[in-house]
Amino acid sequence: MWRRVASLSSFLSSYSTSFVAQTASRLNTWESLTTRIAQQANGFIAPKEKTPFITFVLGGPGSGKGTQCIKIVETFGFTHLSAGDLLRREIDSNSADGAMILNKIKEGKIVPSQLTVKLIQKGMESSDNDKFLIDGFPRTEENRVSFEQIIGIEPNVVLFFDCPEEEMVKRLLNRNQGRVDDNLETIKTRLKVFEALSLPVINYYSQRGKLYTIRARGTEDEIFEQVRPIFTAFEACHVSTMILSIQLC
């Protein structure tokens, strides 16, 4: 790619005298000509837009998704978009949907997909990064299909934090972050929703060979040592693809 850019710039500079000047006067200004050439060259050479690298982070309530996302961000430079955090921010901002979202979260139920996907979309669009961890999403088949329809991109990686139920309940009851859904009654519903609606999504990605299952017991660091090699391998693969494409250009 960079070689084509280099040869184009020498092509442009060799044309920087009489021919271009005459053409420019025909087009009124030199600026409009150079701007147009730059725009056309850009469209010709550069890919239209880089497709982001998307990781969905799944697991039952309290399985440690958010905790591990922080470590992945620190180590691999992803942008973390937690669906639950985006929804809680929507409640705090007193938006029109705030009351409905609060009720769903209090009951441990799932917010309509379109709304959640739009919040994720906003988060992605307002970031300069091209690597995203989408945490706690998709929670249902409807979530998954809605993301495909609205965003139009498939995830590259799906992480599943597989944690025994009694461990998840213990962690949630000790979380102490003032969450309205960290009480035994709501936790029971969240676990049922996870089993009935989220496990089918996990199976879907397993069948497509995208699922990486992490045994989510042990210390946070021990669990991260299962996560690390997955992203290290993807990074190495990305670097070798870049080297190969430079050699092919």
Ligand X SMILES: Nc1ncnc2c1ncn2[C@@H]1O[C@H](COP(=O)(O)OP(=O)(O)OP(=O)(O)O)[C@@H](O)[C@H]1O
Query: Which residues make up each annotated binding site for ATP?
Result: 62-67, 175, 218
155 binds, among ligand X, ligand LCLUPRNS, Mg ion, none (CB under 5 to 8 A by kind): none
Based on its alpha-carbon atoms, the radius of gyration of the chain, rounded to whole angstroms, reads 24
Q: Which stretch binds Mg ion (CB under 5 A): 63-71, 142-150, 158-166, 231-239?
A: 63-71
Strand 53-59 with 157-162, pairing: parallel
Q: Which whole-number Å values give the CA distances from 11 to 3, 31, 37, 44, 158, in the listed order?
A: 12, 18, 11, 15, 45
Q: Which two tokens stand for residue 134?
A: 């989408």
In whole angstroms, the minimum distance from the beta carbon of 99 to ligand LCLUPRNS comes to 14
Q: Which two tokens stand for residue 104?
A: 């769903």
54 bridge partner residues: 132
Of 59, 108, 138, 155, the residue at the interface with ligand X (CB under 6 A) is 59
Q: Beta strands of the chain (E only): which ranges?
A: 53-59, 79-82, 131-135, 157-162, 211-215
Using rule CB under 6 A, residue 60 touches ligand LCLUPRNS: no
Whichever of 136 and 138 has its CB closer to ligand X, that residue is 136
Using rule CB under 6 A, residue 186 touches ligand X: no
Q: How many angstroms separate the CA atoms of 101 and 123, rounded? A: 18
Q: How many CB atoms lie within 10 A of CB 143?
A: 25
Using rule CB under 6 A, residue 187 touches ligand LCLUPRNS: no
Q: How many CB atoms lie within 10 A of CB 213?
A: 15
State the binding site for CMP: 143
Phi, psi of 2 (to 5 degrees): -60, -30
111 binds, among ligand LCLUPRNS, ligand X, Mg ion, none (CB under 5 to 8 A by kind): ligand LCLUPRNS
Q: Which whole-number Å values give the CA distances from 46 to 2, 5, 9, 20, 53, in the listed order?
A: 10, 9, 14, 24, 18
Q: Which stretch binds ligand LCLUPRNS (CB under 6 A): 36-44, 133-141, 209-217, 230-238?
A: 133-141
DSSP H helices, 151-209, are 165-174, 184-193, 199-207
Q: Which stretch binds ligand LCLUPRNS (CB under 6 A): 18-26, 52-60, 83-91, 217-225?
A: 83-91
Between the two ends of the chain, the Cα-to-Cα distance in Å is 5
In whole angstroms, the minimum distance from the beta carbon of 91 to ligand LCLUPRNS comes to 10
Of 54, 64, 138, 169, the residue at the interface with ligand X (CB under 6 A) is 64
State the binding site: 62-67, 88, 109-111, 136-139, 143, 175, 179, 190, 218
Of 53, 56, 66, 198, the residue at the interface with ligand X (CB under 6 A) is 66
Using rule CB under 5 A, residue 66 touches Mg ion: yes
Q: Which residues bind ligand LCLUPRNS (CB under 6 A)?
A: 61, 82-84, 87, 104-105, 108, 110-111, 116, 136-137, 139, 143, 181, 190
